[in-house]
Amino acid sequence: MVGQTVTVEGVITQDSRHPGGWRGFYLQQTDARTDHNPQTSDALFIYTDRPGGAVGSQVRVTGQVKEYHGLTELTRVSDLTVCGAGKLPVATPVQLPWPDQQPPEHLENMRVTLAEPLTLIGHYSFARYGELILAHSSQTVPTELLAPGPEAAAMGRKQLLNRLYLDDGQSIRNPRPLPWPAPRLANGVPFRAGDALGALTGILDFRFGHWRLQPDQSPEIILRNPRPDPPPRSDNTTLRIVTLNLGNYFNGDGSGAGFEASRGARSSAQLATQTSRLRAGLHALEPDVIAAVELENDDYSDTSAIADLAAALGPEWQFVATPGITGTDAIRTDLFYRADRVRPLGEPQRLTDGRYGYRGRPPVAQVFQPIAGSNPATVRIIVPHLKSKACGGAEGADKDQNDGQGCYARRRTDNARALAIWLESLPEPENGTNAFAGNLITGDLNSYAREWPIQQLENAGLINLVRAHQACTPDNCPETTYRYQGRQGSLDYAMGSEALLKHLVSAGAWAINAAEFPAIGYQGPIQLPAGVPWRSSDHNPLYIDLAL
């Protein structure tokens, strides 16, 4: 029927002719006039600015049938007649996953109600498009569980099919004021990925490649993922290492101005917010050593980003300096330590040749020893940051191979191999009577657990300490550090040598960032009070507790 001019009659179920709306309304046959064919929809979207009618009105419309990016609609409306008051059709109960794994074409543009609450799995585009991603339950990145390849790709496609976007009924970008639940977030009331939404009723339509619910009321929030307390530090822990991607910590010119970089804070106010949240989160974890990722690669002077952050952490905090060998990338990895609790032993090192002499962020390595205790053992900490999955400039084998790993999987694997070879070449520290506990590689490897780079490190004898402490299964995958496009997984790792395992007390992730709305981040439109840890970065921090 596409292209044909037809006349239809029904009840307006939702009106979107308001400014910023979809420029039309949804029209559905009354329950008394439906064709009772469960394979076909009883509704259309009427694309028109013509006035007339409101929700609940019976109207007759003449126009041309069109398929617009998958949405069936009536356009080029030549007549719109209000026939009188009508009766809204009863909302059809639906549920996820979609039955038989088939998209709900037969319900397009119709009133529906979700038979059970859905889980919030994605909120990245909330501030830009006013949308949230919902599913029956949390979704884990396929390659966190499965080896890259057809099975992982199939799992990803199945996940995408069984989602529903909760929309805001607006066609504009960057809606201001932000829609529900922005007022709740602005008041500091938590609502996070992993929480659920009930009382979901509205119009089911298909826009921008996704099935969407245009709600006719605010949903009910069901809290299932509360903000966690900091993980306690046990009495037998003598060294706690915290690993955190700082979310691009840049400090302008170091004097309150000069925020011209494409990364990080855009103003002194944003920097102050970012710093206060990072400080709050890091202090709450009570670390002895901080392995930091995405720190501005400027220098180590008093006006450098690393000096600013160390000063914000407090007078007991110092950093490991490696001037002249930090590479040419805009960001680098670094190590901070509490000088009243631990001491660095020997000179720091960075891997600057081979794969890291060209297009790589040189990882930093330093041996540390707790100050307290009788002859405590030492540990070497190495902090890498591998290439991201973004596809800019990817060529040949670096392109996305559609196996679940994204772009640059080959480069990340080569860099992981070079890292393992370098680690093997590093001599065991000469500590006199003090034992060497082992090596710890911890940082952002931009790879999920079953992907090639992690397998490369495991093949070299390194152990995923977080997963040694808490396994990830299809039904339960806790202790993850990142959320992307509605899926949870870990990009950040603590990979320890086998000898280190006997010193492991605990390891995990503190879920203060990835589950939180990006809109409350330091660059977001919703501001929280200073000094709270929530959404201090887009990665959750790891903690590794050792008894040395």
50 class by beta-carbon count within 10 Å (0-12 exposed, 13-18 middle, 19+ buried): middle
Token duo for residue 297: 């690669």
Inter-CA distances, 432 with 169, 351, 366, 376, 438, Å: 69, 26, 17, 11, 15
- Position 314 scores a pLDDT of 98
Q: Which of 406, 404, 402, 412 is nearest to 389 (CA)?
A: 406
- Position 431 scores a pLDDT of 67
Calculate mean pLDDT across residues 279-298.
98
Q: 216: helix, coil or strand?
A: coil
Per-residue burial over 52-76, b = 16 or more CB atoms within 10 Å of its CB, e = otherwise = ebeeebbbebebbbbeeeebbbbee
Q: Is the pLDDT of residue 511 over 70?
A: yes
- Residue partners of 102: CB distance under 8 A and separation at least 6: none
Q: Which of 419, 428, 345, 327 is nearest to 382 (CA)?
A: 419
Cβ 28 vs Cβ 109: under 8 Å: yes
Q: Residue 181: is the preceding peptide bond cis (ω within 30°)? A: yes
- Position 530 scores a pLDDT of 84
- Position 128 scores a pLDDT of 96
Report the interhelical angle of 268-285 vs 305-313 (nearest 10°): 50
- Position 257 scores a pLDDT of 95
- Cα–Cα dist 258/510, whole Å: 33
Residue pLDDT, tens place only, 101-154: 999 999 999 999 999 999 999 999 999 999 999 999 999 999 999 999 999 999
Q: Which of 1, 5, 58, 6 is nearest to 32 (CA)?
A: 58
On whether the pTM is more than 0.85, the answer is yes
Cβ 125 vs Cβ 131: under 8 Å: yes
- Cα–Cα dist 405/116, whole Å: 33
Calculate mean pLDDT across residues 454-482.
95
H-run or E-run covering 150: helix 150-161
Q: Which of 333, 379, 345, 344 is nearest to 240 (CA)?
A: 379
Q: Is the pLDDT of residue 164 over 80?
A: yes
Q: 521: helix, coil or strand?
A: coil
Calculate mean pLDDT across residues 212-219.
95
Cβ 494 vs Cβ 507: under 8 Å: yes
Residue pLDDT, tens place only, 53-94: 999 999 999 999 998 888 889 999 999 999 999 999 999 999
Residue pLDDT, tens place only, 291-349: 999 999 999 999 999 999 999 999 999 999 999 999 999 999 999 999 999 999 999 99
Q: Which of 210, 103, 111, 221 is nearest to 167 (CA)?
A: 210
- Cα–Cα dist 524/90, whole Å: 39
Could you list the beta-strand ranges (E) of 29-122.
Answer: 43-47, 57-68, 71-85, 92-94, 111-114, 118-122
- Position 430 scores a pLDDT of 76
Q: Is the pLDDT of residue 33 over 90?
A: no
Amino acid identity, position 508: G
For the chain, domains (ranges, CATH) are 5-85 (2.40.50.200), 92-222 (2.40.50), 239-546 (3.60.10.10)
Amino acid identity, position 527: Q
- Position 394 scores a pLDDT of 94
Report the interhelical angle of 452-459 vs 409-425 (nearest 10°): 20
Q: Across all residues in the chain, what is the average pLDDT?
A: 95
- Position 358 scores a pLDDT of 77
- Position 433 scores a pLDDT of 61
- Cα–Cα dist 352/358, whole Å: 8
Q: Given the DSSP bridges, would you call strands 111-114 and 92-94 parallel, antiparallel or unpaired?
A: parallel
H-run or E-run covering 292: strand 289-296
Residue pLDDT, tens place only, 390-446: 999 999 999 999 999 999 999 999 999 999 999 999 998 876 667 999 999 999 999
Calculate mean pLDDT across residues 237-259.
97
Q: Which of 141, 117, 96, 104 is nearest to 448 (CA)?
A: 141
H-run or E-run covering 383: strand 378-383
